C-alpha cells in the first residue's frame, strides 16, 4: 500500500470515529475502505441509506438514489447531501421501473429485514442486465465469537452464553445473522451470480464492537437528547482511541473467521 492510499484510509477512519460512536465508526471505516476498490457503474441505488452518513463519508461523489423506510433517517440524510434523490419506501416495493439501475449497494442493512428474500428479488428486478449488487452483512460468527458468551462457555454456563447471544442479536436488531453459505444461497435463489466474496472483521475487531456497545452509552444519550452521536465532531472525539484503532484498522481485516461477509454479485 502506498502512502497516498494509507492517508486516504486513515482519513476514512478519522471521519467515522470523529462523528460516530468509536466502535461503529471503526466498522464503517473498514467497510468504506473495501468500497474504494469496487467499481460501481452508474446509476447507483443505496438500499437502506439510513441517515446518509456512510455514503457521505465513503464516496467522493453523490449517489443517485438513497432508499430507506424511515422518514426520520431520510430527513437526517438530507443534511449530508449524499444523494441526488431520497425515496421513502420498503425494499420489497421499490417505486422504480425494471432495469433502471446499474449498481445497488446495501451496507449492513439486509440482516435487519425479516422478509429479506422479497427484497433481493426486488433488487434483481430494478437492476440492469449485468448490473452489480454489493452487500455487507453480519454472519453466524458474529454471535459465535462474542467475548462474553465465550467467557460463559469457558465457565460451563452454556445457557447464559446462549442467552447473551440472543440478547446481543436483539439489541442489534438482527433477524438474519446467518452463515455466509446461507447468504450466498439467498443471492443465488434470487437469480444472482457471485463474483467476489470474503469475510471480514476478525474476533479481535469484533471485541471492539462488542465492548463499544457498553462504553458508547454516552454517545447513545447524546443521540437521544441532542440528535447527534458526537456533540463536537473533530473536537470531542478521543484522539487516543483513534490512534489505537488505527493500528488495528491498518491490519488485514479480511479473515476466514470474520464476523461479517461482503458479497459482490451480478445479475446475469
**Host H or E run for residue 262:** strand 260-267
Other Cβ atoms within 10 Å of 241 Cβ, number: 17
pLDDT of residue 242: 87
Closest CA to 109 of 56, 61, 185, 49: 49
pLDDT of residue 253: 94
- Which residues in the chain come in under a pLDDT of 50? none
pLDDT of residue 235: 60
Q: What is the tens place of the pLDDT at every residue in 28-54? A: 999 999 999 999 999 999 999 999 999
pLDDT of residue 227: 80
Domain 3-139+175-267 CATH class label: alpha beta
Q: DSSP assignment of 159-209, as one string?
A: HHHHHHHHHHHHHTT-S----HHHHHHHHHHTTEEEEEEEEE--HHHHHHH
Q: Which residues contact 149 (CB under 8 A, 6 or more apart)?
A: 143, 161, 162, 164, 165, 168
Q: Strand 83-88 and strand 127-138: pairing?
A: unpaired
pLDDT of residue 7: 85
pLDDT of residue 236: 55
Cell of 125: 428486478
pLDDT of residue 1: 56
Q: DSSP assignment of 119-146, as one string?
A: HHHHHHHHEEEEEEEEEEEE-THHHHT-
Are the C-beta atoms of 190 and 121 separated by less than 8 Å?
yes
Sheet with 83-88, strands from edge to edge, namely 83-88, 63-68, 44-47, 101-107, 127-138, 260-267, 192-200
Are the C-beta atoms of 66 and 85 separated by less than 8 Å?
yes
Query: Which phi and psi angles does 155 have, rounded to 5°?
Result: -85, 5
pLDDT of residue 225: 85
Q: What is the tens place of the pLDDT at every residue in 184-206? A: 999 999 999 999 999 999 999 99
Amino acid at each position: 500500500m502506498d502512502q497516498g492510499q494509507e492517508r486516504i484510509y486513515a482519513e476514512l477512519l478519522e471521519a467515522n470515529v470523529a462523528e460516530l460512536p468509536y466502535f461503529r465508526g471503526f466498522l464503517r471505516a473498514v467497510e468504506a475502505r473495501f468500497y474504494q476498490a469496487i467499481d460501481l457503474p452508474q446509476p447507483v441505488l443505496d438500499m437502506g441509506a439510513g441517515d446518509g452518513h456512510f455514503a457521505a463519508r465513503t464516496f467522493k461523489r453523490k449517489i443517485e438514489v438513497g432508499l430507506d423506510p424511515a422518514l426520520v433517517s431520510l430527513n437526517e440524510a438530507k443534511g449530508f447531501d449524499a444523494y441526488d434523490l431520497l425515496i421513502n419506501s420498503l425494499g420489497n416495493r421499490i417505486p422504480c421501473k425494471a432495469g433502471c439501475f446499474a449498481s445497488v449497494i446495501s451496507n449492513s442493512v439486509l440482516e435487519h429485514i425479516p422478509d429479506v428474500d422479497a427484497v433481493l428479488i426486488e433488487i434483481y428486478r430494478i437492476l440492469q442486465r449485468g448490473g452489480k449488487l454489493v452487500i455487507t452483512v453480519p454472519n453466524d460468527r458474529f454471535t459465535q465469537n462474542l467475548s462474553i458468551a465465550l467467557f460463559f462457555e469457558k465457565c460451563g454456563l452454556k445457557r447464559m452464553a446462549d442467552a447473551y447471544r440472543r440478547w446481543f442479536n436483539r439489541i442489534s436488531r438482527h433477524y438474519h445473522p446467518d452463515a455466509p453459505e446461507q447468504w450466498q444461497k439467498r443471492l443465488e435463489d434470487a437469480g444472482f451470480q457471485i463474483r467476489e466474496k470474503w469475510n471480514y472483521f476478525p474476533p479481535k475487531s469484533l471485541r471492539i464492537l462488542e465492548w463499544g456497545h457498553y462504553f458508547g452509552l454516552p454517545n447513545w444519550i447524546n443521540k437521544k437528547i441532542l440528535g447527534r452521536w458526537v456533540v463536537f465532531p473533530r473536537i470531542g472525539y478521543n484522539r487516543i482511541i483513534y490512534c489505537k484503532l488505527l493500528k488495528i484498522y491498518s491490519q488485514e481485516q479480511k479473515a476466514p473467521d470474520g464476523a461479517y461477509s461482503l458479497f459482490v454479485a451480478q445479475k446475469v
